[in-house]
Amino acid sequence: MSARTSLSRAGQVAVAGAVVTALGAAPAAALPGVAPEFELVGPSGTVDTDSVSLAIVDLLGGEDAPVEALVEVNGDAAWWFDLSQPYPLDGLLDGTYDVVVTALDAEGDEAAQSLSFTVDTTVDVVPPSVADQSLTLARGALSFDLDTLVTPGTGAIEWVDLLGADEELGATYDWDTHVVTFSPWGPGTFTLTFQAGAWTEGSDGQDETSGVGTLTVQVVAPVISFAAKPAASTTSTSAHFEIAADSSDVQVSYVLDLPPGAQSASPVDVPGTTIDLAGLAVGAHTIRVVVDNGVTWSALDHAWEVTGTATPGTPPAPVTPVAPAAPAAPAAPQVLAPTAIPASVVARGIRSGASGEAVAIIQRAVGATPDGLFGSRTRAAVIAFQRSHGLVPDGIVGPLTWAAIVVAANGGSSVAAPSATIPAAQVARGIRQGASGTSVAVIQRIVGVDADGRFGPRTKAAVRAWQAAHGLVADGIVGPITWAAMNGR
């Protein structure tokens, strides 16, 4: 009821059951009006959003319906003119809010209601988890996706980092796909560790790092033996060998009569596991048989002698005495021996992320702090050394760079020709597109492409360009002739 209605009713009297106006009656004094009645609808308790709204539900209607309101939030006031629309409260920070809404009707009568609520937008974060796993490498399965061992928590996975790996694994990691590729140096059980991180919207900087996962990698060499071989002494000028292996999926090759002191020779591949030799000369013979299972290899050695019958009455050839050689001048002591870092480590390439004594040796040679950690400063020092010695500045210490470091450390200035760092059996078969591993990485460093250990189209193009520049058949395949040119450049 409005003030006007109350005032009008104050000047009326009841006559004969009807309401009439009293003639000559003096106007009555104005009486207080009826305050609007309404229900304030809004948040209560704790909400997990920074945006809420208020609404007014009229309980009386008519002239006593609210038409506008004053909204006070923690002491800050603003007018709410269109009560048919919700009143928004946006951009709220976490905390408690006290709201007072004073509604007015058309006559200015007012009434107030209040509410309180708390905003808490903090998200309960669950970090990702990682699992441990064991893996046995096999031919055609020399890579592993670490994503398969990561379980997301509340947030999206942002990164998966390879924390460390045994050097003998020859591990190459793709930081984008999280795939690790192995080029093992030999058999054994090795490990690598990894960790994942995520980010949850609204987490307010909470830690979302997983624990450390471990991948245990088994590298199994083929188990081999001679099923047949010639006797230690025989008059036969032919020889028959049979190789027993624990798998039929192997490649067998051999080297016959490796010259004394030689480190390698071009091997002969054979189909199957049988080797037959004929036309052997009288005298001592040796054979090394290499069996490759696509992951690593094993070798067998055998020595035997082909004997002959000497012609009766033939005197022995006279022995010519050899004059004693003049004493050699004492060699200058080496500051850095080529064997200071194992050749197998150099063949893989020592790069960013490596650690240990091999890194410290390199750091001392290139003028970096010898802390044993191959970081950005060490890489920059290696690149500077490579540029000053006419090498590909890739920041990786492979056979060429290591040879140059050894020469420079011992007072020389030229780059020594590297020794063979690829098994002769692989070279004999021809290393081509589709191959992977340490041997491919060695070739990639020579031809100047990214040494990721994968022989793809770019590596093939680089090999072909290198072959053409060196007068070779540009077929993109590194066989004995191309490798000999690379190894002697």
210-233 pLDDT, tens digit per residue, is 999 999 999 999 999 999 999 999
Residue 284: give the domain boundaries: 224-306
User: Lowest-pLDDT range, 35-39, 210-214, 359-363, 438-442?
Assistant: 438-442
Same domain (yes/no): 212, 230: no
Answer yes or no: is 366 within a domain: yes
Asked if the structure places residue 318 within a domain, the reply is no
Contact 362, 356 (CB under 8 A): no
190 and 249: one domain? no
CATH number at residue 480: 1.10.101.10
End-to-end Cα separation, the chain, in angstroms: 108
- Does 414 reside within a domain? no
Helix, strand, coil tally for the chain in percent (to 5): 20, 35, 45
Give yes or no: residues 85 and 21 share one domain: no
Check whether residue 201 and residue 135 sit in a common domain. Answer: yes
**Is position 239 within any domain?**
yes
The answer to whether the predicted template modeling score (pTM) of the entire model surpasses 0.75 is no
344 plus 379 within the same structural domain: yes
- Tell whether 274 and 353 lie within a shared domain: no
Domain closes at, from 409, 442, 464: 409
Judge whether residue 135 has pLDDT over 50. Answer: yes
Say if residue 382 is in the same domain as residue 448. no
Asked whether residue 190 is assigned to any structural domain, the reply reads yes
Residue 320, in any domain of the structure: no
Distance from C-alpha of 373 to C-alpha of 283, rounded to nearest angstrom: 53
110-124, 200-214, 275-289, 411-425 — which is least confidently predicted?
411-425
- The last residue of a domain, from among 355, 380, 409: 409
Domain stop point among 119, 143, 168: 119
The residues, any chain, with a CB within 8 Å of residue 271's CB and separated by 6 or more, are none
- Strand-pair partners of 174: 179
When pLDDT is cut at 50, 70 and 90, the band that residue 472 belongs to is: confident
Do 262 and 300 fall within a single domain? yes
Residues 232 and 212 in one domain: no
Do 14 and 62 lie in one domain? The reply is no
Residue 48 lies inside a defined structural domain of this protein: yes
Query: At residue 408, what is the residue type?
Result: A
User: pLDDT band at residue 258, thresholds of 50, 70 and 90?
Assistant: confident
Q: What CATH number corresponds to the domain at position 203? A: 2.60.40
Q: Does the residue 234 lie in any domain?
A: yes
Pair 91, 113 in one domain: yes
If one counts the domains in the chain, the total is 6
The answer to which of 14-28, 283-297, 383-397 has the lowest mean pLDDT is: 14-28
Closest CA to 230 of 299, 290, 276, 269: 276
Instruction: Tell whether 395 and 450 lie within a shared domain.
Output: no
User: At residue 41, does pLDDT exceed 90?
Assistant: yes
C-alpha separations of 4 from 20, 68, 276 in Å: 17, 20, 125
Say whether pLDDT at 31 is over 50: no
On the question of pLDDT at 259 being above 80, the answer is: no
